[in-house]
Chains A and B, each alone.
Chain A
Amino acid sequence: MNNALEIRNLTKDYGDFLLDDVSFSLPPGTIMGLIGPNGAGKTTVIKLILNLLRRDGGEIKVFGLDNRSDEVEVKSRVGFVHDTPYFYERLRLTTIKDTVAPFYRDWDEPLFRKLLAEFDLPPRKSLVRLSRGMKMKFALALALSHRAELIILDEPTSGLDPVFRRELLGRLSALIQDEKTSVLFSTHITSDLERIADYITFLHKGRVVFSSPKDDILDRWAVVKAGRDLLTDDDRRFFRGFREREYGFEGLTSDAAAARRRFGDKAVIEKAALEDIMFYLTRGAKNV
């Protein structure tokens, strides 16, 4: 069975920013979190998948189809939520829907109505009068109403209240239960991904740092905390990132087992959260 999404050696050169040799794949029926600091290239990757940007090199396959030569077929099966809702804001929600729905062959009007009701969205209200969170909910309702097999969300939870965020995560988890629908989800809120993601792809400065199953990452990566007297130059090289304080240091390693062997009982070794990994890797081996 084809991967829902397969990206190979993807390159996009803006002059002052290079998306360099990005490769990862998303199996069907799974959720992938795309994480990275601001300017890492997450939105660029998403826009390249949707063929909003022209790639300079590499390959993007969605359901085994090329995203450029099979653009219409691919996009018919993809639902998207952009980081900013690009709608005609003065129109009512139902009118906006009328400008979008006719382009989807599998548009499900009863489902759209149901989602509006579930999200407490007033159909006759204009978009400009809604909060950012409500706009995101509306974008999500549109994305889910044509029975897409791949849902791409660019920072969908920013601006949402915690209650709806949790509801959204629950809904995304439910979506993949058919083992056919997949979700690519870019976010800064890494705790969201720890709840629902099966795979994590970490981008930094336009390059993939890792793309692995979430459980592998959380098993392998660890934060080591110990007194400064334990820290040698060799240890500094061992860590992917660390910070020193007056009385001690904290370091991130991608090999928890090696850390246990190296420090034994002299250090506290904790599982790294995604946020820790993002923090330390973004800062590199600096004393942060």
Chain B
Amino acid sequence: MFKLCRKDFLACRWWWLLVLAVYGLNWMFAFRQSLGVMFLTLLLAGGCLAVTFYQDHLHKTEVLYGSLPLTRGRIVRGRYLLTGFLSAGALVVAFAYGSLLRSVFGIDDLRLSLSALGSMEGLTGYALAVAFLAALYFPLHYRLGAGKAVLAFFLSLLVLAVAVPGLGQLGLIPAPLARFVSSPGFLKDIGLGIIGMIGRVSLALGTPLFLAAAVGLASIVLAVSIRLATRFYEKTDL
């Protein structure tokens, strides 16, 4: 799987740099509009992943790599691993950019945002967000293909956003949690919202139990997602 990630790095490194540059510009404006640092970091990782898939699609390289001594399962797992690497890289970039912008422009909001992201709650929230988004996207990608999958992915997120308050009202999830997730504060800065939510849960469970639960939950969600994505990809004609 590391070889697959290396392959993607060799094939897409210059495109990733381009995404990095574009996001670097976005950051300067985004912070002034109070958009969250976690949100932008996720977008950076997602942008790099999107250009990677686009390069595959453009050159139809799935046929080439499908012909190499690799199983479909390994190819799929390679993509999840790549998502992990890109997300970790995006986090490093976020702190580097943030520190640079803070020192150059003296934007005070950045100090708060970066320290929130760098906290245990922030990093856990980021990792969970990555795991959840990857778990949602990849089965759609390998079932529907890249174009339709993106549409279905955002539609699913929209449905979830609408469904959470409704589930709260029906008593299927705790009402305070539903209220919190659908509050204007949460939606204004989803990253800080997630961090706040995790802070509450962590406080209620205690840090060790919370971390164990977070790792357990992410593992289960990812395992199910990988299994589904692999099954879909194995049924795909290249």
Residues of A within 8 A of B (CB): 47, 50-54, 71-73, 75-76, 80, 82, 84, 86-89, 91, 95, 98-100, 102-105
Contact call B66/A95, Cβ cutoff below 8 A: no
Interface residue total, chain B, C-beta cutoff 8 A: 22
Contact call A99/B10, Cβ cutoff below 8 A: yes
Q: What residue in chain B is nearest A139 (Cβ atoms)?
A: B64
Residues of B within 8 A of A (CB): 3, 6-7, 10-11, 55, 59-64, 66-71, 234-235, 237-238
B55, B68, B70, B237 — most chain A CB neighbours (10 Å): B68
**Could you say which of A53, A54, A72, A95 contacts B69, with CB atoms under 8 Å apart?**
A72
The minimal Cβ–Cβ distance linking A100 to chain B, given in whole angstroms, is: 7
- CA–CA, A31 to B70, complex, Å? 26
Contact call A53/B238, Cβ cutoff below 8 A: yes
- CA–CA, A52 to B233, complex, Å? 11
Label chain B's interface by main secondary structure: helix
Contact call B71/A47, Cβ cutoff below 8 A: no
- CA–CA, A102 to B78, complex, Å? 14
- CA–CA, A92 to B11, complex, Å? 10
The minimal Cβ–Cβ distance linking B4 to chain A, given in whole angstroms, is: 9
Residues in B with CB closer than 8 Å to A82 are 63-64, 67
Known: A82-B67, A89-B59. 13 other contacts (CB 8 A): A47-B238, A54-B234, A54-B237, A86-B61, A86-B63, A88-B59, A91-B11, A98-B10, A100-B68, A102-B3, A103-B70, A104-B68, A105-B69
Q: What residue in chain A is nearest B2 (Cβ atoms)?
A: A102
Contact call A50/B61, Cβ cutoff below 8 A: no
Contact call B67/A52, Cβ cutoff below 8 A: yes
- CA–CA, A73 to B69, complex, Å? 7
- CA–CA, A9 to B56, complex, Å? 33
- CA–CA, A51 to B72, complex, Å? 10
Residues in A with CB closer than 8 Å to B60 are 84, 86
Residues in A with CB closer than 8 Å to B235 are 54
- CA–CA, A85 to B39, complex, Å? 38
Residues in A with CB closer than 8 Å to B11 are 88, 91, 99
With A54-B237, A86-B60, A86-B61 given, is the CB distance from A91 to B10 under 8 Å?
Answer: yes
The minimal Cβ–Cβ distance linking B86 to chain A, given in whole angstroms, is: 17
Contact call A87/B66, Cβ cutoff below 8 A: no
